[in-house]
Amino acid sequence: MSSTFAGFTAAQLGLRASQQGLNITGQNISNINTDGYTRQVLDQISLNLSNCDRYSASEATIGYGTLVTDISQIRDPYLDIRFRNEAADVGNADEMYSTLQELESALDESKTDGIQTQLSDLSSMLQKLSGSVDSGKYASSVKSSAESLTKFFNQYANSLKTTRNDLENNLTKVDVPDINEILENITELNKTIKSGQINGDDALELMDQRNMLIDNLSSYVKIDVQYIPEKISDSLSVDNLKIDLVGNNNTINLVNGNDHNTFKIPDGTTKLNVVDSNGDPIKDLSGNDIGTDIYDELSSGSIKGSLEMLNCSGVFDSDDNSTRGIGYYEKMLDLLASKFAKTFNDLNNSTLPAGTPDADLHNLFSTSDGSTTITAANITLASGWSKDDYGLTTTTSTDPDSSGANDVIMKMINALKDDQSFVYSPDSNPSNDKTVFTGSFTEFYSTLNTTLGIDAKSTKQTLQSHVAVASNISDKKDSISGVSLDDECVNLMKYQKSYSAAARLMTTLDEAMDTLINKMGVVGR
């Protein structure tokens, strides 16, 4: 026989395990709508001391019931990794698409008049002037149309500048502070979780909070999450959380247990760096300085998307395959404005001798800020034309009988519809010049709008693809880690029945004990 009270121990442990199972089921049900909550389960083992009972009359051993060893969460680490990688791609595409939408709002002329309409109006005014150059009837109309065109250039340039400023402010004042706050909160949770585990508390709810922060962090940058066992004593080990930024060339540590590094953007720049607690740039895992800008290390995430749209200018960069960010559309608009201004200035000065001083030129367009380079932001009517110090040159002929000649006006009209070579000169070396586009002014702007539409559409499709994959992974995560009412109802019945059975076992053992103590040896009395 086993020891007298061994059965009572088994029944008592069964009651306790069933009670804890009911408590955990209630915890799961009550948190079914709690964001980030991970389903908890009871971990049990069969209790067997693996040695023969001292009072047993046989070699066979019987266990002593069940033992609750832990309460754990149901998570799939592989799905966590896949979800966080996909979240980084979603963040990258989402940031780029939202910026392209802003650019579309600034440059789209499908619903309102703009540069293309004004170019057409200028051509129409020049056509009217060409038929009455003697009277100059339409000269003021041409000037008014040209002025309206310069204002459209200014307006679009300001809109692009606003888009850039908004994105910079969001990056420096929202995204980077959010990341740093997440890293700090994760570190604080690490300390609390570790302390709780050392003191026997699993801190599962705190781990849920930490996992939500890690998921949020993964949308900003691509990360690698590791749980490294740390031995506290011979009988206790806890997991030390380590989070690294996965770079293109280096792995940059962000969190290591109770310590974390910080993202930093120097004032007035769009460079990004990671610094330690002393504010010094950190080193890679090999001990080498990473430098003051980790942009090239970013592989995905909304931070990469923001920096890409701020820093990349497509064909205007040394890498022709560079992303067409805000800079591309700014430089294209500048190229259109400067080419337009130079073409018409040259035509209006065609009667002046070579080497005429700048102050004596009859330019139609100049800069509003005094600079020597005309851009979309500063293009304006030249002061001399604006004040009627001089007007439009109508002909190159010096023949007194050439009254009514309009060859220069016709050249201006043709210049608006003829193909032009739009050349970008990054420096003073002509061999580095790039022909960005060949076509008319109207075709240039139309192609710019088409390119923007294609960029927005392709980015939207990329975003939708990543969102679909992330949603699919999230659903799989929820099916494993989320609370299911059907499963919990089954658990309620399971633990209720096991509790009743353990209670019945206790009653039966009590009856057997009563027989043993009170009824043995009284037969026949």
Q: Where are the alpha helices (DSSP H) in 349-406?
A: 383-386
Cα dihedral: 496, 497, 500, 505 (round 10) = -140
Residue 60, pLDDT score: 59
Closest of 28, 22, 16 to residue 68, by C-alpha: 16
Closest of 507, 482, 501, 504 to residue 21, by C-alpha: 501
Residue 381: in which H helix or E strand, if any?
strand 379-381
Task: Quote the tokens at residue 288.
Answer: 């080498």
- Count of other CB atoms within 10 angstroms of residue 139: 17
Q: 255: which strand partners?
A: 243, 260
Compute φ and ψ for 259, nearest 5 degrees. -120, 150
Residues of the chain predicted below pLDDT 50 = 1
296, 280 Cβ separation under 8 angstroms: no
**Cα–Cα distance between 242 and 283 in angstroms, integer?**
16
Tell me 104's DSSP state.
H
Closest of 334, 377, 335 to residue 157, by C-alpha: 377
Residue 410, pLDDT score: 92
- Count of other CB atoms within 10 angstroms of residue 44: 16
pLDDT tens across 87-146, in order? 999 999 999 999 999 999 988 887 778 999 999 999 999 998 888 876 667 889 999 999
| Distances in whole angstroms, Cα of residue 176 to Cα of each of 119, 266, 295, 324, 448 | 43, 12, 14, 23, 32
Maximum Cα–Cα distance across the chain: 157
**Cα–Cα distance between 182 and 337 in angstroms, integer?**
45
Residue 101: in which H helix or E strand, if any?
helix 77-107
Q: What is the value of pTM for the model shown?
A: 0.86
Task: Quote the tokens at residue 90.
Answer: 């979603």
Residue 1, pLDDT score: 43
Task: Quote the tokens at residue 380.
Answer: 């304006």
Those residues with Cβ within 8 angstroms of residue 386's Cβ, 6 or more apart along the chain or in another chain: 143, 147, 380
Task: Quote the tokens at residue 483.
Answer: 């609370």
Residue 396, pLDDT score: 79
| Backbone CA torsion sign across 278, 280, 284, 288 | negative
Task: Quote the tokens at residue 383.
Answer: 């002061």
